[in-house]
Amino acid sequence: MSTASPISWLVTGARGQLGHDLLGVLSGRPDDQVTAVGRAEVDLTDESSVRATVRDWLDRSAGSRAVLLNAAAYTAVDPAETDEATAQVVNGAAPGWLAEEMAGRGRLVHVSTDYVFDGSATEPYRVDSPTAPRSAYGRTKLAGEQAIAAVGDDATVVRTAWVYGRHGGNFVRTMTNLEAQRETLSVVDDQVGSPTWSADLAAGLVELGERVDAVPPVLHCTNSGQVSWFGLARAVFEELGADPERVQPTTTDAFPRPAPRPAYSVLDGSAWGAAGLTPTRPWREALHVAMQQGFRD
C-alpha cells in the first residue's frame, strides 16, 4: 500500500552516485519536501553532527510523514583495510544514530551491501543467509545493519551489489573510458554478481520509503540475473558498438587487492517481490537503457 499524501524526505550521501539518482527520482514528486545532505552538511564521523542534522530536519517536517534514505557510506573497500576505525564510525555507528533519531518519528531506509557475506555461496544469498564478512568494509557494513536492528523500529536495510551509474566512479564508467583508450583489456572472470543500475535501485528505495504499511527489516534489491565482471565488460563493449573480443578473461589472483573480493555476490531478491514491491528488471536490459544516456567522462 502506498500513500499519495506528502512526504518529507532526507537523503544522506546526496552527492554520491546513488544519491544523485535518488534526488532524480524524488524530483518527480513535486508535492513532497526533499532535503539533501552530503559531507559538506553533515559529518558522519561526528555523532552530534549526525543527530543534530536529523533532529533539525524532523522538526521542519512536522505534519508530514518523514522518510530518511541513507545512501551515505565509507565505500573505499581497499583503504578500509588500514582505516577500519573510520569506516566503523561511518558504516557501523552512524546508521545506529540515524535509527535512534528516527525511532517513532519516521521510516529509515538504509543501503547495505553483498560484502556482508563471505562470497563462497553457489546460489543466491537470501535475506536470512548467514553473514560472514571477509573484509573491513564488509565488517563495518554488517555492524551498521546490527546497530539498526538493535533499535528495532520502522527501518529497513536494503542490501545491493555491483552498483553503477552516471555519477561517481564505477565499473561501467571505467570500461566505457578504457574502450577508447586501450586495444585490449583483461577482466576477471571468476567473480560473479548482479550489475545494478543506480537509477533502478533509487526507484526501488523510494517505492519502499513511501509505503505506509509495515515492511521487512532486511531486503535485497539488485537487477536480476548474474554475470562475471568479464561478461559485464563485454556487454559494455557491445553497447558501445565495439568488438567484445577485445576483452579477455583473467583471474582474481592476477590482480591482488588489499581487501578480498567476494567470488559470488548474487543476492536473492524474492523477498522484495513478496513484500509487494516492483520486481527488478534483468541486468542486461537495465545496462542497455543506462548506456543510452552515455557514460564517458
Closest CA to 191 of 138, 112, 116, 120: 120
d(C-alpha 42, C-alpha 203), whole Å: 24
d(C-alpha 259, C-alpha 87), whole Å: 14
Active-site residue flag, 115 = no
Query: Cβ distance 112 to 141 under 8 Å?
Result: yes
Closest CA to 102 of 24, 43, 50, 146: 50
Query: Cβ distance 252 to 263 under 8 Å?
Result: yes
Query: Cβ distance 133 to 114 under 8 Å?
Result: no
Catalytic option among 74, 125, 137, 264: 137
The set of catalytic residues is: 137
